[in-house]
Structure 1
Amino acid sequence: MSLLIRGGRSFRNADTKKLAVLGTVGVPANYGGFETLAENLVRYHADSRLPIEFTVYCSSKSFPGKNPRYLSAGLRYIPLHANGPQSIPYDIISLFSAVRHRNDIILLLGVSGAVVLPLIRLVSKAKIITNIDGIEWRREKWKGLAKWFLRLSEKIAVRFSHEVIADNAAIADYVYSTYGADCHVIAYGGDHVLEASAQPLEDIDLPENFAVAVCRIEPENNLHLILDAFSRQSEYSLVIVGNWRSNAYGRELRDRYGSASHICLLDPIYDLGKLKTLRSQAAFYVHGHSAGGTNPSLVEAMHFGLPILAYDCDFNRATTEDRARYFADSDQLLSLMREADPAEMERIGKEMLEIARRRYTWEAVGKEYFDLM
C-alpha cells in the first residue's frame, strides 16, 4: 500500500478524502490507550500533510471548552460520556453523525456502537474500519446482559466492518478461529513516553530496588497475585500506580496491603514526566494483565528497557515475543524474583527495548493505519 502524499503538500479539493475517528474520549489524550492512539494518528496526519480531512469525535463532558480543532484535526462533540453505560449511545450517535457529514472513511475504536453497523452499511458508502480492542466480553467486570451485548457487538463488528484491526496477533488468531475472518494486526506505539521531561514525584520517596506497575485496578489485571507475591519477600519493593478507590476489588487490596513497608500503592498519575521518573528508576516492570491484547502500559515500559515479568497469557507472550519472563500464579512470580540473575535481567531489558524500537513506535503505527485507510 502507499500513502496518499502528493508532493508534500496538503490538498482540499474534490479528491480529498474525509476521515472520522470515533470511540474515544477525545483529543488531546488524557485518559487511555485509544485516546493516545487517536492523538498520535492526528500527529502523524499533521506531520505527513496527508490529503485527508481529519475529524475526531470527542465527549463534551470531558472537554467542556469544546475547542474546534486540535493540530490538523477538526473536533466534533457528543454531549455524553464516552465510557461506562453511555459509551453505547455515544458511539452510535457518533456513527450517524459521521455518516451525516459524509465521511469517506470511519475508524471505529472499540465495539460498543457496532450494533448499528448493519444499518450504517445500508445508508452509507463509507469504508468502515474497526479496531475491536481486546476481547472485551471476557473481562471479569462484565456479567450477564452486558457480557452478552459485548459479545454480540464484537460479532457484528467483525461481520459488518470492511476491515478489522487487532492490536495483537493472539486477538487476530481468536477472530479467525471464532469468526473465520482475517484481521490487520497493528499494535500501539509507546515511544511518546520518552519525549516528556522527568518530573519530581512530590511527597513520594521512592524505595531502592523496586518494581513498578501502572494499570487499572481490575481483577483481570491480577493485582491480587502480584501483591501476594511481593508481600512474601523483602528483597524488592513494589510501586503500583492505579485507581484503587474506583471499585471494591481495589479498595480491598489497598486495605490489605497498603500498610506494608515495602509496598507503595499510588493513586493514578497521568503526568508523563512523573511517570518517566518512576519508570526510569525501577529495577523491572511487573505486568499482570490477562486480557486486552497489546497493553499500552507494557509497551511503554519496554521503551525504558525494563526487564518484564508478565502474566502468562497469549497476549503478553505475543507482545514480548516470548522473551520476557512469565508467571501464572503468585508462587511462580515469587520464584522468578528469588531466582533473578542480574545479568539475565539486563539481557531481558535490552531485548524488550529492541522489540519496542522495532515494533512499537508511533511512526510505524501511524503509517500502518494510514496505509490501510
Structure 2
Amino acid sequence: MRSGQAKMILLVHSESEKYKFEDMKIVFIGQKGIPAVYGGVEKHVEEIAVRLARAGHDVTVFTRPSYTPADLTDHRGVKLRSVFSLPTKHLDAITHTFLSIFYACRLKPDVVHFHSIGPSTLLWLAKLLMPRSALVATFHTQCYHHAKWNRFARWYLKIGEWMINRIPDRTITVSRVLAEYTLRRYGRVASYIPNGVALPRSVGAHHLAKWDLQAGDYILSVSRLIRHKGIHHLIRAYQKIYPDKKLVIVGSGFHTDDYVAELEELAVGDPRIIFTGNQSGQALEQLFANAALFVQPSESEGLSIALLEAMSYGLPIIASDIPENQEALGRAGYFFRDRDSDDLADKI
C-alpha cells in the first residue's frame, strides 16, 4: 500500500476547501492498538497510520491497555495514547471509544477516523463534540454475523452499521461486497479502498525450530480463535484425511475461552496439530514463508489480511467460498463450500 493510497482516505468533501490536506492532525479511534499483535483492523490501522506519519502528518492512535503496553507512547512516528477500557467482551470497545472521543477533543484534530461498526455507534458523539473535524469511518465487516454475539449485541452492532453509513463525512469499505451492500441497503456511495499488505522479504526459517517444524512440512492457518473464523471446520477436515503434513494454527482467543477449549478438545491426542498462539514480526513471516499450504476457513470476513498475506508469499491457498474471500482470491486459489468440512477435506 503506497502512502498516496493511504492519503485517499482523507479526501473528504474534495470539492470544497473546508478541510486542509497537508500537515494534518489525525486521530484513529476504534482499534485495540498498534503495533498489531493480532487482528486485521489493527494491522490495517498500523499500515495507514505509519505511512501518514511518514508523510509529515501528526498522527495519534488511541490504544487499549489490554492490547498495547500503556508505557509505549510512540510507534514508528505515530503517537500512542493509552485510554482506559473495561476489558470485558461487551464493554471493552464501547468504553474505550467513549473515553477516546473526549481525549480526541483536546487535540482538536483535522481528521477523526473511526474503525468498525461497534465503535461507530458513538459517531454521533464525535460529530457533536468535534463539528469542525472531518469525520471518516471504515466499515470492515458485518460483525453482527459473528457467532459470539447474543441477540442484544447484534442489534446494537446493527445500530453501528446504520451510524457508519449515515453520520460520517465519508464512509470507506475494504471490499466491493461491502460497498455494494452499503449502496443497496443505505443508498450510501462508499469509498472502496481495499486492505493492502507489504511485500514479503527473504526471512529464513530458524524460528520454525520452536515448534519442531521444517520448511514445507505443515499446513498453515492464521486467525483469531473465534467461532466465525471456522478453525473447527479445518481441524475436522484435517482429521478426516490424515495428511503427511502438520497443521499449524496461529492465533489466540479474544473473550472466547469456551471456543478455544473446544478447539483444544478437538485436537487432543493428535500431536500433528500445533497451536502457536499469537505470532508477529519475523516469527510470523517465517511461518508464512515456509508453509506448504494456507487454509482460510472463515464463515464471515471483511477483506482478510491474513489471506492477502498468504497470497503475497505465493502460497497455495484454500478458502471458504464466502463472497469476500472470492473477491480477494479470485482465480489464485481453491474454494470449498462454507462450513463444509467434508468438502474442505477433499480440497486439501
Give the TM-score normalised by the residue count of structure 2.
Answer: 0.84
Deviates more, 1:28-37 or 1:130-139: 28-37
CA distance in structure 1 between the aligned counterparts of 2:307 and 2:275, rounded to whole angstroms: 18
Q: Does 1:331 align with 2:331?
A: no
Verify the 8 A CA contact 1:89 1:113 in the aligned structure 2.
no
Pairs aligned (count): 326
1:218-257 equivalences in 2 (<5 Å): 218-237=226-245, 238-243=247-252, 246-257=256-267
Instruction: Report the aligned-residue RMSD.
Output: 2.8
Indicate which of 115, 118, 124 corresponds to 2:124.
118
CA distance in structure 1 between the aligned counterparts of 2:236 and 2:170, rounded to whole angstroms: 42
Indicate which of 270, 275, 280 corresponds to 1:266.
275
CA distance in structure 1 between the aligned counterparts of 2:303 and 2:21, rounded to whole angstroms: 38
Verify the 8 A CA contact 1:82 1:90 in the aligned structure 2.
no
Indicate which of 326, 329, 338 corresponds to 1:320.
329
Verify the 8 A CA contact 2:98 2:122 in the aligned structure 1.
yes
1:243 deviation in Å? 2.2
Per the alignment, residue 169 of structure 1 pairs with 176
CA distance in structure 2 between the aligned counterparts of 1:14 and 1:323, rounded to whole angstroms: 38
1:4-83 equivalences in 2 (<5 Å): 16-49=23-56, 52-80=57-85
SS at match of 1:182: coil
CA distance in structure 1 between the aligned counterparts of 2:22 and 2:346, rounded to whole angstroms: 60
Deviates more, 1:137-146 or 1:99-108: 99-108
1:272-283 equivalences in 2 (<5 Å): 272-283=281-292
1:185-204 equivalences in 2 (<5 Å): 185-191=192-198, 194=201, 198-204=205-211
CA distance in structure 2 between the aligned counterparts of 1:269 and 1:327, rounded to whole angstroms: 26
CA distance in structure 2 between the aligned counterparts of 1:225 and 1:67, rounded to whole angstroms: 38
Q: Deviations over 1:216-263 (max 9, x none)?
A: 2222122222222211113342222232694222212221223225x3
**Cα separation, partners in 2 of 1:27 and 1:271, compared to 1, 3 Å:** closer
**AA aligned opposite 2:343:** Q
Q: Deviations over 1:63-111 (max 9, x none)?
A: 4443443333333221225773221021122123223321111111122
**Cα separation, partners in 2 of 1:277 and 1:196, compared to 1, 3 Å:** closer
Q: Deviations over 1:292-323 (max 9, x none)?
A: 21111111111110011000110100011243
CA distance in structure 2 between the aligned counterparts of 1:198 and 1:283, rounded to whole angstroms: 13
**AA aligned opposite 1:260:** D
CA distance in structure 2 between the aligned counterparts of 1:278 and 1:72, rounded to whole angstroms: 28
Per the alignment, residue 217 of structure 1 pairs with 225
Verify the 8 A CA contact 2:35 2:68 in the aligned structure 1.
no
Give the TM-score normalised by the residue count of structure 1.
Answer: 0.79
Structure 1: give runs of 5+ residues left out of the alignment: 5-12, 338-373
**Cα separation, partners in 2 of 1:64 and 1:323, compared to 1, 3 Å:** closer
Deviates more, 1:67-76 or 1:105-114: 67-76
Verify the 8 A CA contact 1:28 1:39 in the aligned structure 2.
yes
